[in-house]
Amino acid sequence: MFFKNYFTLLSEKITSVDSNFLHEASKKILALRGDNKIIIVGNGGSANIASHMAVDFTNACKIPAITFSEQGLITCFSNDYGFENWVSKALEAYAKEGDLIILISSSGESQNIINAAKTAQQKGLDIITFSGFKKNNRLSSLGQQNFWVGSSDYNIVEMTHHIWLVAIAENIILTNTVQESS
């Protein structure tokens, strides 16, 4: 009974998103030009989602994407500037105007991700956020496009974020395939 209920709940959360919203995110990513890139960041499980998606966007979608999962970078910037500022410092080093950043925080309250959103705004980056828990979390007010999962269960929120991001990538792959065959 647990698994049936769990998968039903997960399915409800996954399908709660407006598909037009997913299309808009896909268009934003496809609109990147020249040497602009996607930067995708999260903490813990969300960092692993970011890493997976950076690979998929780069390889399968043919859109350059990076994440900041290098332990030397994280520990250096955390040590020198504090954990709450390490992503902001990485953005100062790697981001440029015209890049797009995807910020993932299950709670929408991770200070390092909030600070990164503020730095991204200052640098003129397009910002897409993924959060959960409380609808009006701090991260959700900082992006141009905000995906929110109505759950306070980390696994439900993270898996929903992951599936939405994979769906965006699949849509981009399909769009690129159609354009190539035209």
Give the C-alpha separation, 68 to 130, whole Å. Answer: 17
SS3 131: strand
Asked whether the predicted pLDDT for residue 179 surpasses 80, the reply is no
Give the C-alpha separation, 78 to 116, whole Å. Answer: 13
Count of residues in the chain: 182
Q: How far is CA 23 from the centre of its chain?
A: 15
Which amino acid is located at 164 in the chain?
W
SS3 60: coil
Give the C-alpha separation, 176 to 171, whole Å. Answer: 9
% of the chain at pLDDT higher than 70: 99
Q: Give the pLDDT confidence score for residue 178 in this predicted structure.
A: 73
Tens digits of per-residue pLDDT, 84-140?
999 999 999 999 999 999 999 999 999 999 999 999 999 999 999 999 999 999 999
| The token pair that represents 62 in the structure block | 């043919």
DSSP 102-113: EEEESSS--HHH
Q: To the nearest whole number, what is the mean pLDDT of the chain? A: 96
SS3 38: strand
Q: Is the dihedral of CA 73, 75, 76, 78 positive or negative?
A: positive
Tens digits of per-residue pLDDT, 20-52?
999 999 999 999 988 999 999 999 999 999 999
| The token pair that represents 145 in the structure block | 């496009």
Asked whether the predicted pLDDT for residue 182 surpasses 70, the reply is no
CATH classification of 32-181, choosing from 2.60.120.10, 3.40.50.300, 3.40.50.10490, 1.10.3720.10? 3.40.50.10490
Q: What residue segments make up the domains of the chain, in order of their start?
A: 32-181
**Would you tell me how many other CB atoms lie within 10 Å of the CB of residue 96?**
12
Tens digits of per-residue pLDDT, 155-168?
999 999 999 999 99
